[in-house]
Amino acid sequence: MKLRNSRGSNLSETGPALFIFFLGILFPMIDLLSIAFIYATCWYINFTVANQAARARESERDTIVTGVQKQIYNTGFASFLKIKDGDIKTDVNYPAVEAGLPAVLQCTTTVTGKPLVTLPAGGIIPAVPGLSAPVTFSISTEMTRESTLK
């Protein structure tokens, strides 16, 4: 019986191994990393806006929201995460104060980002947000207001 060529087996195994490594491990990991960064960005925007809005007058809300979002858009981070104008939406509401409770604000931030490496999808392979399709995160915060001025 003729033995199989060991060199040939290496060559023949490398292809599938690389395929599995890139598509199954490395790219998804990179995408997971980008998902984490998109989430972290969403959280950061939400926290920053809520925190600043809590310390400012209601009339300054739009300035704060626009300022923080603009700050994110202008970073290379946003480009890295493929966050473009309109991908960040922040809504700050001031619910009516209930008797005996402190005044609060509600801040909801939605960020849509694309995976760093978009994996192929189509046919029988469904598009997976964060891997092969844009992913959207929405974070809501309720925070006690430091300033209750209009």
Specify the residue, 54 or 72, whose C-beta has the smaller distance to other proteins: 54
> How many Cβ atoms from other residues are within 10 Å of residue 139's Cβ?
18
What's the closest the beta carbon of residue 9 comes to other proteins, in angstroms? 8
> Quick check: 19 binds other proteins (CB under 8 A)?
no
Name the one range near other proteins by CB under 8 A: 19-27, 108-116, 117-125, 129-137. Answer: 19-27
CA distance 51 to 75: 20
What string of H, E and C letters represents the secondary structure of 10-37?
Answer: HHHHHHHHHHHHHHHHHHHHHHHHHHHH
> What is the footprint of other proteins within residues 96-125 (CB under 8 A)?
102
Q: Which of 108, 117, 90 is nearest to 35 (CA)?
A: 117
Which residues contact other proteins by CB under 8 A? Answer: 6-7, 9-10, 13-14, 17, 21, 25-26, 29, 33, 52, 54-57, 60, 64, 102, 145-149
